[in-house]
A and B are shown apart, each in its own frame.
Chain A
């Protein structure tokens, strides 16, 4: 099977310039726009989530992992059958995919890769802030970040006063008690502590009649959706889904990789439901450290690879489409002869998304968040201005 390089994203600088894409088109709307990032830890297998249709190389190398009942997206690509909610979004022009993409990291260590997917840098551990935090700083979005995790993810570092939510298994003290502590802090000129206590006392999402809340991503996403919907609510939310590192029993439709994909899918569903019409002003993106090898291993799993895919959802997408500069799966087309290549720097997608959602010139993001690295402005191709 041979697919043409349709939906070609890699334009030369000249064509882009002539097309006028490099000029900042900042339609400044008054609408509050939201950006949600779901981190998929362990290495999400783009070829399992969004398989290519009818590629002999693929079928040969993945004999035991080929999925039944795939959902056809177009003539070339399909969707994992368990991603039902994402498929719904897709059918409503609220879902899209960038395929054969990754951060510029090729060494296959989770440890380093996850650090780089969050910092957006090139050398593991050399950068101490996250690309999202730096982008928010540029947009002056102090206090607008919400992490659905206990320690603040590195991704959000770089701007102070982010909120986080990961329900405690114990009951929170009564509001009067919190207010009292707040006033003690204020009396002692501990402004930051007072500010935190204010956030805690006002957080409607904590009060659940005293019973402890689920830490499942689907329920966290529901809470996050309700917060994002508020005019004064956060503008950025970050989730984490674990378990993509399936070295064994990755399996087919009911395998272990599916379990993690289903969890990701549940976030899409809860967010859509809770956001209601505000899904129109929201953009959801996934982020992973690398994809997985094409060839299955002896344990019917897959090893650490390179190119993967990005799921995108929300009303700020232009349309439902698989965007790819497809590199092919013949041996010589593979990265180091074994992995799906990455033809689009994933950071181009993230930089473009921040440009769209935060209303900041792409070039400023490129320069100040990603150190002037060579990235493409895809805002006009992928997103609504």
Chain B
């Protein structure tokens, strides 16, 4: 049962009391979205997008022209531009905000589910999204909607600037639209880009299980045509997303057998139908189980989550509570291999490792500076662990299947960074008694574990072994 604290959160820290009712402890965290526990600066997405603009504009429109014969000069000035727009700083700040929710907040269960949704609606590595806006997107669109219906999260994520840019919907132009017509007159061809439409169906809502066809994807792309950032000479592709009727495909579209009239409203109408499709709740229930419980979720596991969805009309707090309860019921039977970030946070929380730079240190940063190593420590660490949450390789996000995290180099990183982390612990937590108490509090087989640890004199060895035991790697 103690495994449950690690399964749905990051374990219990030295200050945490063991809850008298673990399930209630967990589900009580899911009703509201509290303020961030990070006490430093937090910037709105819109402002971060301006820095993104300053960078792409400065590079594309200024430096590339100015230094066309001077490779070294170009590199030098581009590096300067990176710093004047905070390119190496913002994502570190976002990681501080993100990780504080796991370690320092009263709602670590909510944090673990936040990471799930951020990865479900993944913004994968493209251009400079990770450096400037992905963290803010996950705050303002994903986390902010975790006490809403799933539908609202889909609606907002779909027309979020990051998602539209990430999945090329800015290049999705109806072949019979006004804009395609203008292009033809100039001898150019413009047409649909199916990317975003396909992912909305496959990854975000109904999944291929629902049996949509290629034609459904194309029709979906027609519905989505015209949704893109407002273009401007100075802001380039970074303007707010709006619906441009000139690029929208005329006519009625049919997706999964249902008709949608042309126009702005058709996108939200089709999303309403998608989220209410039985395949959608089944798919989300499966993914939640796969994230929390096992690589191969069973029908019995998914059933209560689907029921909660149906009863509450996809109200996320209810869906979450159902998922957590299933995780609770299976916490002694199924153990899930933890991805590197969740593993790191578990270690950090339970063994009192101070990983997150202080708000004071982060707020010392000013534009134009090269961030210090201290300010950049989290980004560096996650990259070294092979799991930077803003740098998933594909739109399906980071894998939640164990096999994908089993590679020699990835396991080596857990060994060496467990050791590194040990030296970042406060001295009061560097005692054998501290470890004994932590193991008692967080593991279901404390005696067995302590017996293994007690074969080692040096505390650092105990630490590295504990955080590489199967009981820790899997929760």
Contact = CB atoms under 8 A, between A and B. Distances in A.
A and B found bound together: yes
Interface of A: 64, 109, 111-112, 115, 123-126, 128, 150-152, 154, 160, 162-166, 168-173, 177-178, 180-181, 184-185, 188, 190, 192-193, 196-197, 199-200, 203, 206, 247-249, 251, 254-256, 298-301
| Of listed B74, B395, B407, B468, residue having the most chain A CB within 10 A | B407
B409 A164 contact: yes
Given A115-B394, A125-B396, A248-B74, A192 B68 contact: no
Contacts, number: 120
Grouping DSSP codes into helix (H, G, I), strand (E, B) and loop, the B interface class, with mixed when no group exceeds half, is helix
Interface size class for chain B? 35 or more
A232 to B, nearest CB: 16
Contacts of B168: 109, 111-112
A177 to B, nearest CB: 7
Given A125-B199, A184-B469, A151 B65 contact: no
B394 to A, nearest CB: 6
B416 A168 contact: yes
A92 to B, nearest CB: 32
A248 B70 CA distance: 9
A249 B68 contact: yes
Given A125-B394, A301-B64, A203 B415 contact: no
B407 to A, nearest CB: 5
Given A172-B412, A251-B69, 14 more contacts: A128-B396, A151-B410, A152-B404, A168-B413, A171-B416, A177-B464, A184-B470, A190-B470, A192-B406, A249-B64, A249-B70, A254-B71, A256-B71, A298-B65
Nearest to B193: A107
Contacts of B71: 249, 251, 254-256
B146 to A, nearest CB: 26
8 contacts: A112-B195, A125-B394, A151-B410, A170-B417, A177-B461, A249-B69, A249-B70, A299-B64
B210 interface: no
Contact of B198 (A125, A178, A249, A301): A125
A54 B452 CA distance: 73
B68 A150 contact: no
The 7 closest A-B pairs by CB, nearest first: A299-B64, A248-B64, A170-B416, A300-B68, A249-B71, A164-B409, A249-B74
B282 to A, nearest CB: 20
B140 interface: no
B126 interface: yes
A249 B409 CA distance: 36
B393 A163 contact: no
| Of listed B71, B199, B396, B417, residue having the most chain A CB within 10 A | B71
B106 interface: no
A299 B417 CA distance: 43
A115 B406 CA distance: 22
Nearest to B383: A150
A111 B170 CA distance: 15
Contacts of B410: 150-151, 164
B218 to A, nearest CB: 12
Contacts of B35: none
B256 interface: no
B434 interface: no
B63 interface: yes
Nearest to A156: B407
Given A109-B168, A125-B395, A160-B403, A188 B470 contact: yes
A172 B386 contact: no
A256 B68 CA distance: 11
Contacts of B63: 248
